[in-house]
Amino acid sequence: MPGADPFNHEFKPADYEIFAGLDVDKQSMTVTFAKPEGMLRSMRMPSQPEPLLGYVRRHLPGQRIAFAYEAGPTGFHLHDGLVAAGYPCLVVAPSMVPTAPGQRVKTNRLDSQKLATSLRGGQLRSIHVPSPTYRCLRHLVRLRDTFVRQIAATKCRIKGLLLLENLAFPHPSGLWSLSVLQQLSVLPCVPAIRFKLDRLLESLAFAQDQMLQTTREIHRFCLQDPELNRCLGYLTSIPGIGVITATHLLARIGDWRHLRNVRQLAGFLGVVASERSTGDSIRRGGITHVGDSRLRGKLVQAAWAAIRQDAELREFYQRIYQRNPRDHAAGKAVVAVVRKLTTRIYAVLKEQRPYRIHRRLTREEIRPRERLDCPQNSESASL
């Protein structure tokens, strides 16, 4: 009855007698059981592992059963319960479930049948389900990103209010600082505008305080877990990658033992070239942009910092820059550096050792403004 872990062994439909597709919603789920020769039955039950396991033990005792459901807002509790009971459970990305182009009817029963049929045919591939430790880290990283977005949005609202009311922003270049906030707090304006501006400044201060508290909690959480702390040290040894980017990497990658090769990591981060080729025609485009866009943005910031610290990466950046038209050269070159960073990330995690830079640039070699349109506010710096 117990099945193999789909991450440690390749899932083989021939090893199982019954295939169960689960269409899960907030309070209930539709379950369809299928055999190799056809559908068995469909039913609706609460979206908890206990009723499903109870039904299996009563009506399908001793059968080799595999389960699958789509990743979504209900999380991984079904996966945890089924795997703990000894059954394999694939959690699949909704976009990767095969769907007939002409299908115009969608119901929970049909969706569960589609999952059961695809599982039986070996067409489903499970995502990596993170362990509870990495899930907690992911929650903290997402919370911090939420406050970062709130800070950026509030700053835009403040600038928009000043523009609308023809009030000058205190800094001529539009940069934010403690002095700017102090000047905004005493900026002369009519009472209604003053009230709105004060509320926005309070919202900004609150979001900044919450962001700092969450950052400290992320650091504390990583320090109390030996494996997280060790991997964090390895990642931050790579030039350009600081604690913020490293913790986001760990939250998204999860257990490094599941990494099979460097191409898998680059594809997961969405920094590989898209391709639409047929016959002798080969057409490659920009990067795929799959995965976490916020993490990809942090890696771009890390790449800008890395080319200032690592001579090898700086030379690589300049080679790519010179091969491309000037209006696209910087973007393509820095994405190439990000792809280079993924190989270092993979190496330090798989080999469990810190990265050692060959040679650091001297102060005279560093030219922050030379051909580098580098953003000033980078989150890749260490805390």
Q: Are residues 238 and 352 in the same domain?
A: yes
| Residue 67 pLDDT greater than 50, yes or no | yes
Query: Which of 142-156, 166-180, 247-261, 283-297 has the weakest average pLDDT?
Result: 283-297
**Does residue 3 fall inside a structural domain?**
no
pLDDT value at position 260? 87
Share of the chain above pLDDT 90, in %: 74
Q: Where is the domain boundary, 120, 142, 161?
A: 120
CA atoms of 200 and 353, how far apart (whole Å) = 46
Q: Are residues 170 and 61 in the same domain?
A: no
**Does residue 343 fall inside a structural domain?**
yes
Label residue 1 by pLDDT band (50, 70, 90).
very low
* Domain that residue 90 falls in: 13-120
Q: What is the DSSP string of 263-313?
A: HHHHHHHT-SEEE--BTTB--EEEE---S-HHHHHHHHHHHHHHHHHBHHH
Give me 107's structure tokens.
């119901």
Q: Are residues 112 and 79 in the same domain?
A: yes
Q: Are residues 53 and 185 in the same domain?
A: no
**Does residue 116 fall inside a structural domain?**
yes
Q: Are residues 235 and 370 in the same domain?
A: yes
What are 251-271's pLDDT values in tens digits? Answer: 999 999 988 888 889 998 999
pLDDT value at position 39? 87
What are the contacts of 357-361 at 24+ separation with CB within 8 A? 357/239, 357/309, 357/310, 358/310, 358/311, 358/312, 359/311, 359/312, 360/309, 360/310, 360/311, 361/308, 361/309, 361/310, 361/311, 361/314
**Alpha carbon of residue 370 to chain centroid:** 32
Give me 355's structure tokens.
């990265």
What are 350-359's pLDDT values in tens digits? Answer: 999 999 876 5
* Dihedral sign, Cα of residue 247, residue 252, residue 258, residue 261: negative
What are 18-33's pLDDT values in tens digits? Answer: 999 999 998 899 999 9
Q: Where is the domain boundary, 183, 198, 224?
A: 224
| Residue 277 pLDDT greater than 60, yes or no | yes
- How many domains would you assign to the chain? 3
**Does residue 1 fall inside a structural domain?**
no
Average pLDDT over residues 364-379: 47
* Dihedral sign, Cα of residue 257, residue 260, residue 264, residue 266: positive
Give the relative orientation of helices 132-164 and 191-224 as an angle to the nearest 10 degrees. Answer: 160
pLDDT value at position 285? 81
CA atoms of 241 and 347, how far apart (whole Å) = 14
Average pLDDT over residues 165-190: 94
Radius of gyration of the CA atoms of the chain, in A: 26
